Amino acid sequence: MTDAATVEHAIESRRAIRAFLPDPVDPALVRRLLELAACSPSGTNMQPWRVRVLGPQARARLEQGLIAALDSPDLPIEEEYRYYPQTFREPYLSRRRKVGWDLYSLLGVVRGDHEGMKRQTQANLRFFGAPVALMVTIDRDLEIGSWLDLGMFVQTFLIAAQAHGLDSCPQAIFARFHPVVRRELAIPESEVVVCGIALGKADPDAPANRLVPEREPVEGFTSWLD
């Protein structure tokens, strides 16, 4: 393929993967993906991203703490930052509902199946079984522009991974459990827990990985001004 076709394929084939094979990933490749992601643009070259790649002990400790928190009625779970609006309106409400129920339909989870939903949350907190787990943070005193920069960093990482034959899933759920993440990974209060990233090879037989979210056509979000 041409360079342009390779880039386009990586962009179009990337999806959020929710079940991974246990196949290991070369740590040198993970480092290379981070080097590529660091080429992302940032205002005045601030490079506001921070990443922790979790080793086996740190990951086991984190996952154990997260599952315990999920089952504990005593631990208040509050978002580290507001990802979604307080009140959804159209067209965002319909899009959110559709992708959610499309996923649960593939998983065989019906409305009101709280145990099924809990199992999926547990899988999420375990990085969907991916062999590589990363945690992304940003300094708390930075502003919206730096968050935009961080988003471009994460996207560049995901696309670079896809180009290298790896699948991924950015995971905002960890922001809800930030007290546990902070405690188990020794993340200071001066950093915001933004998201995790699961990285590895997709399990081709997992029903969840058949989900292909619909995308709006260009005409739906673009105005061409004379």
Q: How many domains does the chain have?
A: 1
Q: What is the pLDDT of residue 169?
A: 98
Above 80 in pLDDT, residue 96? yes
> What is the average pLDDT across 152-179?
97
Calculate the average pLDDT of the chain.
96
pLDDT band at 115 (very low <50, low <70, confident <90, very high): very high
pTM, rounded to two decimals: 0.96
Query: In angstroms, what is the C-alpha Rg of the chain?
Result: 18
Mean pLDDT of 63-84: 86
Percent of the chain predicted with pLDDT > 70: 98
- pLDDT per residue as tens digits for the range 175-224: 999 999 999 999 999 999 999 999 999 999 999 999 999 999 999 999 99
173: confidence class by pLDDT, cuts 50, 70, 90: very high
Q: How confident is the model at residue 161 (pLDDT cuts 50, 70, 90)?
A: very high
Rounded Cα distance between 182 and 65, Å, is 11
In a domain, 7, yes or no: no
In a domain, 5, yes or no: no
- Looking at residue 197, what DSSP letter applies? E
Instruction: Work out the average pLDDT over 7-30.
Output: 98
Q: In this structure, is residue 162 part of a structural domain? A: yes
In a domain, 193, yes or no: yes
The pLDDT value recorded for residue 79 is: 84
In-domain check, residue 62: yes
- Residue 223 belongs to a domain: no
pLDDT score of 77 more than 90: no
147 in a domain, yes or no? yes
Residues spanned by the domain of 151? 16-85+125-209
Confidence label for 75 from pLDDT (cuts 50, 70 and 90)? low
Q: How far is CA 85 from CA 56, 62, 81, 96, 213, in A?
A: 35, 28, 11, 12, 20
**Would you say residue 195 lies in a domain?**
yes
- Joined together, the tokens standing for residue 90 give 């159209």
Confidence of residue 60 (pLDDT cuts 50, 70, 90): very high
CATH number at residue 141: 3.40.109.10
